[in-house]
Chain A
Amino acid sequence: MMTELGGPGVACSVTRIRRLEAGELTGDERARTEAHLAGCARCRASARELAAEREALLASLPFERFAAGIAEGLAREEAQPPRRRALRAGMALAAVLVVAAALPLLLRVVPGPGEEGWRAKGALELTVWASEGGRVRALAAGEPVPSGASLRVGLPAAGLAHAAVALVDRDGVAVLFSGPAVAGAVGDAFEWTGAEDGWLVAVLDDRPVDRDALRARLAKGGVDAAGGAGAEVIVRPLARGAP
Chain B
Amino acid sequence: MARLEVIAGGRAGPAAGPLPAPPAAGLVEELYRRHAAGVLARCRYLLRDEEGARDAAQEVFVRALRALPELRASASPTAYLMTAATHHCLNVLRASRAAWREELARLARERRAAGIAPEARELVRALLGAAPQEAQEIAVLYFVDELTQAEIAEATGRSRPTVRKRLREFLAAARGALREAFPELSLPEPEELP
Interface residues of A (CB under 8 A from B): 1-10, 12-16, 18-19, 21-24, 50, 53-54, 56-57, 60-61, 63, 66-67, 69-70, 73-78, 84, 87-88, 91, 93-106, 108, 127, 129, 131, 136, 150, 152, 154, 166-169, 171-174, 176, 179-180, 182-194, 198, 208, 215
Contact = CB atoms under 8 A, between A and B. Distances in A.
A189 B19 contact: no
B157 A97 contact: no
B194 interface: yes
Given A7-B194, A67-B25, A193 B37 contact: no
Contacts of A100: 7-10
B2 A70 contact: no
Given A15-B147, A184-B69, A104 B62 contact: no
B116 interface: no
Given A21-B34, A66-B32, A73-B58, 12 more contacts: A1-B117, A8-B194, A12-B146, A18-B78, A50-B37, A56-B40, A61-B54, A66-B36, A70-B65, A100-B9, A104-B13, A185-B11
Contact of A73 (B59, B78, B146, B151): B59
B40 A185 contact: no
A127 B17 CA distance: 11
Contact of B1 (A93, A98, A103): A93
B18 A127 contact: yes
Chain A interface main SS type: mixed
A171 B5 CA distance: 14
Ordered nearest first, which 7 A-B pairs have the shortest CB separation? A189-B10, A194-B3, A73-B62, A102-B13, A69-B58, A102-B12, A174-B2
14 contacts: A2-B185, A6-B120, A19-B76, A19-B78, A54-B37, A56-B41, A67-B32, A74-B62, A104-B13, A168-B2, A169-B2, A190-B7, A208-B157, A215-B1
Contact of A87 (B1, B38, B66, B187): B1
A10 B193 CA distance: 11
B58 A57 contact: no
Nearest to A21: B34
Contacts of A19: 76, 78-79
A14 B18 CA distance: 36
Given A23-B34, A56-B41, A188-B66, A95 B6 contact: yes
Contacts of A187: 11
B110 interface: no
A106 B16 contact: yes
